[in-house]
Amino acid sequence: MNSKPLHVACIMDGNGRWARKRGLPRTAGHTAGEESLADVVRVASKRDVAYLTVFGFSTENWVRPRAEVRHILGLHKKLFGRISELNENNVRVNWIGRPFDEPGSRTPLYVQRAIRKAIEDTRSNTGMVLTVAFDYGSRSELTRAAKHLVASSDDLTPANLQRHLYDASLPPVDVLVRTSGESRISNFLLWQIKAANIYFTERPWPDFDSVDLDAAIALAKN
């Protein structure tokens, strides 16, 4: 067992390709991806994973077709609404992204409410921390942190910059998962993955399962 908390981060790619291969609309792929995420959360909460961080919706995703965006937003509301299941698995919900009250934030009020409720209703859980990056972009995070650091007049050091990230308490990522054959990191946790192993798989996110998760965890422990 690791002597430090294990942090797994996932770029959940390939929902659209999974659907297209089956002759289904892209929305069906996103629905399957949300179910896959629920399965991964259940499995990870029973493994040696202390932190699971997933790239739910990026700052760039707003340019997708409106109907697709609406569907994804509805799935995120559903995800944050799985309170009973999260509590059963002792999972605590966390969120990172553009703060709701800052310029540029585009998270709808109904998703904001779902996020806040999930955080509050799982606050007392002591198991794995599930962090959903929603309306998130690493460049936006680092730019905001730099602005806040300059305004604070503190010394320009890595430690001081980290204090101004969306969640300074998130530990470094041990393994970054990227599905669907893509070998990119896509503006995700650029600060936090500085020493991470990267687990690439050809399988699209809806097909990602416990075998893949165990392989990623094993890579982090080598």
187: region left, alpha or beta (phi > 0 left; psi from -120 to 50 alpha): left
Cα dihedral 42/122/88/44 (nearest 10): 20
Choose among 183, 186, 209: nearest CA to 198: 183
Q: Answer whether 187's CB lies under 8 Å from 139's CB.
A: yes
Tokens of 39: 């399965």
| Active-site entry in 13, 135, 174, 212 | 13
Choose among 130, 69, 70: nearest CA to 96: 130
| Active-site entry in 61, 87, 90, 187 | 61
d(CA 55, CA 40): 14
Provide the edge-to-edge strand list for the sheet that holds 51-58: 92-96, 129-136, 51-58, 7-11, 175-178, 197-200
Choose among 55, 98, 99: nearest CA to 193: 55
* 135 is a catalytic site residue: no
* 61 is a catalytic site residue: yes
DSSP classification of residue 207:
G
d(CA 219, CA 203): 17
Residues annotated as catalytic are 13, 61
